[in-house]
Structure 1
Amino acid sequence: MSHKQLADDQLFQQYCKKVKADKRNTRLWQIVLFISFFVLWEVTSRYGLIDRLIFSSPTKVWDLFIANLLDGSLWYHLRITLFETVAGFIIGTLAGIVLAASLWWSDKLSKILDPYLVVLNALPKVALGPIIIVALGPGYFSIITMGAIISVIITTLVVYSSFNEVDENYVKVLKSFGASKWQCFKEAIFPATLPSIISTFKVNVGLSWVGVIVGEFLVASEGLGYLIVYGFQVFNFTLVMYSLLLVAFFAAIMYQIVERLEKILIKNR
């Protein structure tokens, strides 16, 4: 091995060590901030710096978590909200991608629907909640629809915009070899926009939780959204904080799953 190759190898190893050190440092700061938040919350609650009735405390939330874990009510409410959120996320994302592909496929359809998509995107989808519930009836289907509809329009607009931003030369090269429009989409458009699609997944994680929780606010008698509303009604703010922390925790898990999926897909491109 030449001196240049040895030097390049050493530089690469140093770079890898630096990347690993940066990751460890970032993770350490994340843990420090996480612990500091709960410590500060507990201390300010115990010494009366914040209202314990409204903001509760980590120890009270933990006690409630253990109690609900032991009596089975934790899993009962959590599984309902998780099912609704995952279903809304999948349906909304897939529907948005299919609609974006349809708009890319047909210029005529794109010109017809473009102003309507812009208006629908500006419209607060949460305000449609009561209409959706009246139309579809109270139940899982209306709540899942809320989780899906809140993300489908933004998914369509972002993904369609990404399709249009792909370099036209890729398509021209394929067409010069006699490729069909479907082959152009499969071999050039979709692979080139995969990072943007995955980024949309990340956004939709939060949007799906928002849609489902709002739906449960309006109509549900079970689930984490119902627990939040019930907690407010009976002034049990420990229950409210407990439910909010569960939402944040599982939303973070869904986000991490999407990030892992992104790494797998990008690696295998």
Structure 2
Amino acid sequence: MLNEAKVFSKEHEIYIKSVKRKKMLIFFTQISILIIFFALWEILAKFKIIDPFLVSQPSRMIKFLIKLYNNGELFKHIFVTCYETIIGFVLGTVIGTIIAIILWWWDFLSKVLEPYLVVLNALPKIALGPIIVFWVGNGKTAIIIIALMISLIVTIISVHTGFKEVDEDKIKLLKTFGASKFQILKYVVLPSSVPTIISALKINVGLSWVGVIVGEFLVAKEGLGFLIIFGGQVAQLDMVMLSIIILSIAAYLMYAFVASLEDKFLGWKN
């Protein structure tokens, strides 16, 4: 038995090392792709194979980044956009989950509102942007509401669908023991729907960024969306491309945070 345990332990150790090596290989491959991409971009722009005026150039974007930093504007624009995105993301997730709970609790209301939710989900929320600006004014509130509108309906539909897919046998078992609807929600529906809620969080990351950038296109005087639209208007592609890259990094970090929450939940569940 002792020898079998040693063999098993050795095989387990080899397996863990192989998994770690694979993760490191994937990471270095991802980094290598980025380095090669930016190196080719710089070389092609330097030798005028591609027009640096139209697609910018990494070295020119770095110079513009330093200029923004020296002017004290870099972190101001990043903070404004991240603040608006996080507020819209949190509100969309929390309000959407609460509404989904209400619809699960009151089945009659769910059936009444179902066609309206379908229509609102299909409606391009961006088209409502000018109306929102007219209602609440030209400022951060309008931007946050646009981000909220884009993520809210998707959250309601996805979380409510997850609630309805909970194992009916578990619910019937609790009803047999006299459990109240609140107890069923607390002990069965919500715990079973955590993966669905986390999936909604992942979707909301992208939707919140889209909503904020669209809002900044319409009304902002600061933020990364403002830099993109202003850079396009004055033909400064360095400003536009740099802002897009910063947006990509910020969106990835936000997504990675949500993914870490999922990993923690799975570890706790296991």
Deviations 1:53-81 (A, max 9, x none): 11110011011111111221001211111
Equivalent-residue separation in structure 1 for 2:9 and 2:174 (angstroms): 39
Taking a change above 3 Å as real, the CA distance of residues 184 and 22 of structure 1, as seen in their structure-2 partners, is same
The match for 1:199 is: 199
1:237 aligns with 2:237: yes
The match for 2:161 is: 161
Equivalent-residue separation in structure 1 for 2:182 and 2:15 (angstroms): 42
Structure 1 SS opposite 2:235: coil
Deviation, 1:110, is 0.6
Deviation, 1:44, is 1.3
The match for 1:209 is: 209
Task: Map residues 19-58 of structure 1 onto 2, 5 A cutoff.
Answer: 19-58=19-58
Deviation, 1:16, is 1.4
TM-score by length of 1: 0.96
Deviation, 1:7, is 3.1
The match for 1:268 is: 268
Equivalent-residue separation in structure 2 for 1:109 and 1:142 (angstroms): 29
Structure 2 SS opposite 1:5: helix
Equivalent-residue separation in structure 2 for 1:175 and 1:18 (angstroms): 48
Task: Map residues 91-240 of structure 1 onto 2, 5 A cutoff.
Answer: 91-240=91-240
Structure 1 SS opposite 2:179: coil
The match for 1:61 is: 61
Equivalent-residue separation in structure 2 for 1:9 and 1:168 (angstroms): 41
Deviation, 1:14, is 2.4
Q: Residue type matched to 2:141 in 1? A: F
Deviation, 1:8, is 2.7
Equivalent-residue separation in structure 2 for 1:192 and 1:6 (angstroms): 38
Deviation, 1:50, is 1.4
Q: Residue type matched to 1:236 in 2? A: Q
Q: Which moved more, 1:66-75 or 1:172-181?
A: 172-181
Deviation, 1:107, is 0.6
Equivalent-residue separation in structure 1 for 2:217 and 2:60 (angstroms): 24
Moved over 4 A (4+): none
Percentage of pairs with the same residue: 45
Structure 1: any 5+ residue segments left out of the alignment?
Answer: none
Structure 2 SS opposite 1:48: coil
TM-score by length of 2: 0.96
Deviation, 1:264, is 2.0
